[in-house]
Chains A and B, each alone.
Chain A
Amino acid sequence: MTWAALLGLAAAAYAMKAIGPVALGRRQLPPAVLETLGMLSIPLLAALVAVQTFGGANRLVVAARVRAMAVAAVLVWRRAPFPVVLAAAAVTAALLRL
């Protein structure tokens, strides 16, 4: 990760936040555009879950991470606090690799 890439990401992320309050003022985007942008994070996060769970280098693998995720999924479903979910996933994966 270079500093240029990091600052570019920061600038783009800020520009998106500021579009409404700074640039658009009272004008509004069409509701269909808002709805689509608002839903975008759902398939992206789901894809990140799937790829990070099964993804090896250009192939799918079933390894320690899959079982760690099963533990994490149960904890998320039981509404465990965020740090507990993460720690349980890490400990499960670490123990399976011993």
Chain B
Amino acid sequence: MSAERRPLTRRAAAIGGATGVYGVSFGVLSVAAGLSVAQTCAMSLLVFTGASQFAVGGVLSAGGSVSAALAPALLLAARNGVYGLSLVPILRGRLGRRALESQLIIDESTAMARAQPDPASARLAFLATGISVFICWNLGTLLGAAAGSSLGDPRRLGLDAMFPAAFLALLAPQLRRPGAPAAALSGAAIALMLVPLAPAGVPILAASLGVVPGLWWAHRRAPREAPET
């Protein structure tokens, strides 16, 4: 391996290690929300997109129905579609290969690929980060689910308070985008107003309308920032 590639794979391994710890948290919370250890592990292997997985556990543990839990999980997964579109230029193998590599499209692998100067290192960054996160996320999930099922009453341990904390930690780095604070505040306000009126899950779904004020705010400011974009 060439010298310039080594820091790249080292960073990929570090990102993997960090998401492994998220994986442990997900395993604990998912079991606390009532999923079995096998279902929790299957979710990390097959769904493999953290925010959606946390959303399922969050809505189920708050008493929401399965369909109420799936809707926000699907909407959160939609951003991976956008990532996939942005990765088309660097995922250029045969169909079967592209189909396999698609499963690795997540926040971390996309961000690492986008940070590279040329397509070859972008491809390496995508694969190294994606594989490293996949392995660590799934090992972490298994550990967390196994430990979580022997913990006892999740409420007494305060585990329910971990869900909003996890969502806040996932949200915070995204708030620097133009329009993001407006989108976040409107989403939260819409959801809170609907909690007393609508069945669980619906307030979260309706909150997606928060993109409207978010986009309006981003475009209101667009003329001044146009040269950068």
Q: Closest residue to B175 on the A side, CB-wise?
A: A42
Q: Closest residue to B219 on the A side, CB-wise?
A: A35
- Cβ 8 A contact of B164, one of A7, A53, A95: A53
Contact residues in B for A5 (Cβ distance below 8 Å)? 66-67, 70
A90 touches B168 (CB 8 A): no
Question: In terms of DSSP, what is the predominant structure of the interface of chain B?
Answer: helix
User: How many inter-chain contacts with C-beta < 8 Å in the A-B complex?
Assistant: 300
Asked if B72 is an interface residue, CB under 8 A from chain A, the answer is yes
The CA-CA distance from A53 to B168 in the complex, in Å, is 10
B204 touches A47 (CB 8 A): yes
Q: Closest residue to A88 on the B side, CB-wise?
A: B165
The CA-CA distance from A50 to B169 in the complex, in Å, is 13
A91 touches B158 (CB 8 A): yes
Q: A3-B39, A43-B207, A85-B169 are in contact. Are A48 and B58 (CB under 8 A)?
A: yes
A50 touches B188 (CB 8 A): yes
B164 touches A49 (CB 8 A): yes
Size class of the B contact interface (CB-based, 8 Å): 35 or more
- Cβ 8 A contact of B25, one of A18, A43, A50, A83: A83
Size class of the A contact interface (CB-based, 8 Å): 35 or more
Q: Closest residue to B105 on the A side, CB-wise?
A: A17
The CA-CA distance from A88 to B159 in the complex, in Å, is 10
Q: 1/0 contact trace for B168-192 toward A, CB 8 Å?
A: 1111101101011001111111111
The CA-CA distance from A90 to B157 in the complex, in Å, is 6
B196 touches A48 (CB 8 A): no
Q: A13-B48, A18-B99 are in contact. Are A58 and B210 (CB under 8 A)?
A: no
Q: List 5 A-B contacts (CB under 8 A).
A: A20-B102, A60-B196, A64-B161, A72-B168, A83-B25
A residues engaging B (CB < 8 A)?
1-3, 5-10, 12-14, 16-22, 24-26, 28-29, 34-55, 57-60, 64-65, 68-69, 72-73, 76-77, 81-83, 85-86, 88-95, 97
